[in-house]
Structure 1
Amino acid sequence: MTEILLIRHGETAWNAIKRLQGHLDISLNAQGTQQAKALAWSLQNEKLDAIISSDLQRAVQTAGEIARLQGISTRIDAGLRERCYGGFEGQLYSEIPHVFPEAYAAWKSHDPDAEFPPGENKGETTRQFHQRIVAHIEHYAKQFEGKKIALVAHGGVLECAYRAAKGLPLSAPREVTIYNASINRFEYKDHALQLIQWGDIAHLDTDAMDEINQNDKAS
């Protein structure tokens, strides 16, 4: 059995204004950096055997805060990147239905094989993305059998894990909220992913964030 902490990166400026990121490499904003520090602080007494991060800087920066308090280095894996949305990337969510009405309708229909219009990067269908992510999660679960690891990634990655653990079809709409800097606990045993806890953001409450701010001022 492998314990897996699936962690979403802290907030970015694009998260704050609801601009779709995908493979575009956006860094944490000031709030996201504080969230990452609070997240790391909450995990400091849990021994992690490995921290593996998406190669996008918002995930790398979040993972770096955890790694610093754990005293270990971060492994980087582009296979844990967010889904690529093709031409949707860089657009405000509110703009997409007007710029790409047909592709937007196909996306919202939850067709797992719907394709995105071309953009800076080539888009992935839901099926392609899900297969990529589940394969990478299973790879690390088997590599670190009997240990506890953190995978620091993105909202779409967390959703893939949730669907896999719950056995949900790819055509089903999202049924959970995915929070920035959240801790989502899974176990991998008997060749299957099992959900243990979803959406832990207790470390982001006002008192915890205030404590991080005070520690920053003192250091």
Structure 2
Amino acid sequence: MPETRRIVCWRHGQTTWNVEKRFQGQTDIPLNEVGEAQAREAAALLAAMRPDAIVASDLRRAAVTAQCLAERTGLEVEYDKGLRERFGGSWEGLTTAEIRERWPEHDARMDIPDGEDVLAVGERVHEAALRGLERVPEHGLLVVVGHGAALRSGISRMLGLPPELRQVLGPLGNCSWSVLGPLRVGGWRLLEHNAASLPEGRVLSDDR
């Protein structure tokens, strides 16, 4: 039976390291005041979509973001380490400029010498999303709360994008989200990407 449920992939709010353009990876950085406000504002919008379940990375910046939606919906957040950000090895804590200066060739490929393979990240995020879907009824909505690089990798995996095309998906802004829906023939398609508002009065084309 084809999948009928939808998935919202929601990135956490802003942190100080985001502002400083530092590679966070799995370093457990909290939201700053702006990030907390972003999470509350976005949660009010996402609550209107009437989610059925929330799963989140256990890193604080994602966990606190998810909790804002839980408070709006009355749902309980389930934490899954599979949704953590990509492990960045020696890149964690360094600025974009520092990484480019020290590892120019690796940076161009986003290939972290002592970090986690991006395909492995996509696979574990995909598996975490599937675990979350087990809590969602038919035609229901799952909200997955995580991190920019990890969510993009997971979305790429679910869409079946080959590694050389993973950059087709642009970055997710802080507290922005993407929506995945089912294909009639099985699998997933991207319905929205890097959204920060709800569509109103939208009419879909006949090619849907």
TM-score, length-normalised on structure 2?
0.84
* Alignment-mate amino acid for residue 42 of structure 1: L
What residue is the counterpart of 2:95 in the other structure? Answer: 92
What residue is the counterpart of 1:161 in the other structure? Answer: 154
* Separation in 2, partners of 1:78, 1:55: 6
* Separation in 2, partners of 1:131, 1:149: 18
Task: Please tell me the root mean square deviation across aligned C-alpha atoms, in Å.
Answer: 2.0
CA 142–72 in structure 1, closer or farther in 2 if over 3 Å, else same: closer
* Separation in 2, partners of 1:10, 1:172: 27
Equivalent in 40, 51, 65 of residue 54 of structure 2? 51
Displacement after TM superposition at 1:188 (Å)? 4.1
Indicate whether 1:179 and 2:173 are aligned: yes
What CA deviation, in whole Å up to 9, does each residue of 1:133-163 have, x standing for no partner?
A: 2222233235535121100001012212332
SS of structure 2 residue aligned to 1:180? coil
State how 1:1-219 maps to structure 2 within 5 Å: 1-99=4-102, 101=103, 104-109=104-109, 114-117=111-114, 123-146=115-138, 147-172=140-165, 174-175=167-168, 176-188=170-182, 191-202=186-197
What residue is the counterpart of 1:216 in the other structure? Answer: none
Would the aligned equivalents of 2:126 and 2:158 in 1 still touch at CA under 8 Å? Answer: no
Structure 2, unaligned stretches of length 5 or more?
199-208
Structure 1, unaligned stretches of length 5 or more?
118-122, 204-219
Would the aligned equivalents of 1:116 and 1:125 in 2 still touch at CA under 8 Å? Answer: no
TM-score, length-normalised on structure 1?
0.80
Would the aligned equivalents of 1:2 and 1:187 in 2 still touch at CA under 8 Å? Answer: yes
Q: Work out the percentage of aligned pairs sharing the same amino acid.
A: 29
Displacement after TM superposition at 1:51 (Å)? 0.7
Q: How many corresponding residue pairs?
A: 192
